[in-house]
Amino acid sequence: MKPVVVYYSRQGHNKALAMSLVEEFLGRRIDVPMIPIDERKPTGMIAGLVRAIVGRPVRLAENPDVTDYDPILICSPIWAGHLTPAFLGFVKSLSGVEGKSFYNLHCCFGDTAGALGRASELLQQKGGHVLGTAYITTSDLLEREKLPVFVRGVVDTCVDRVD
Ligand SMILES: Cc1cc2nc3c(=O)[nH]c(=O)nc-3n(C[C@H](O)[C@H](O)[C@H](O)COP(=O)(O)O)c2cc1C
């Protein structure tokens, strides 16, 4: 099966990370779709932050269909040391993903608290296999040399899974 990159991004950093992953796959002749996670109703920053802290997912405009893909790479921010409501909404929307591989990625400031472990836990509860979980800081994302190295490492791990 082929990989897919799913992303949630308010300010564009995680979208940029998602695009870099797609480009890296493309450089290896693997055409990978990029699917945005969109909230059904836009949440304000404060309300979103509160939801993140209490771990309450938002409803999505459309549940990304990942049936035909494996591995599934997810890019999303960290807010106040927590996973975003959109990430939680995406995980909640997943069904029939038992045995699929996930790579959980965040572009954030680098203060992830327990969020990475929590993301793995939630994906495992859905029956997924977590290939990896990692973050890149927003400043490293903007530095020319760091992003390609980060992205290559992630894609190296994923290509072993691609038929
Ligand atoms: C309200 C708010 C809270 C944040 N809290 C954290 C945090 O606890 N840890 C962290 O590493 N980054 C934190 N960040 C930084 C974001 O994760 C980072 O800016 C991210 O790249 C934004 O993603 P986006 O541009 O794709 O929306 C926070 C950002 C905002 C706006």
Contacts of 30 by beta carbon, 8 Å cutoff, 6+ apart: 2, 3, 159, 162
Give the pLDDT score at 95: 95
Distance CA 102, CA 13 (A): 20
Q: Residue 64 Cα, ligand 1 centroid: separation in angstroms?
A: 23
Give the pLDDT score at 163: 64
Best substitution site from 17, 53, 109, 140 to test ligand 1's pocket, by max atoms within 8 Å of Cβ?
Answer: 109
Q: Residue 30 Cα, ligand 1 centroid: separation in angstroms?
A: 30
Give the pLDDT score at 160: 81
101-146 pLDDT per residue, tens: 999 999 999 999 999 999 999 999 999 999 999 999 999 999 989 9
Q: Tokens 């940029």 identify what position?
A: 16
* Closest atom of ligand 1 relative to the 17 alpha carbon: 26
14-61 pLDDT per residue, tens: 999 999 999 999 999 999 999 999 999 999 999 999 999 999 999 999
54-80 pLDDT per residue, tens: 999 999 999 999 999 999 999 999 999
Please indicate whether residue 109, judged by its CB atom, sits closer than 6 Å to ligand 1: yes
- DSSP SS3 for 1: coil
Please indicate whether residue 49, judged by its CB atom, sits closer than 6 Å to ligand 1: yes
Which of 136, 124, 127, 51 shows the shortest CA–CA distance to 86? 51
Which fold does the domain 2-159 belong to in CATH? Answer: Rossmann fold (3.40.50)
Please state the domain extents for the chain: 2-159
Token pair in block for residue 124? 């495992």
- In sequence order, what DSSP letters do the residues of 27-96 get, joined into one string? HTT----EEE--BSSPPPHHHHHHHHHHTPPPPBSS----TTEEEEEEE--EETTEE-HHHHHHHHH--S
Count Cα neighbours of 98 within 13 Å in the Cβ-side half-sphere.
1
Give the pLDDT score at 56: 98
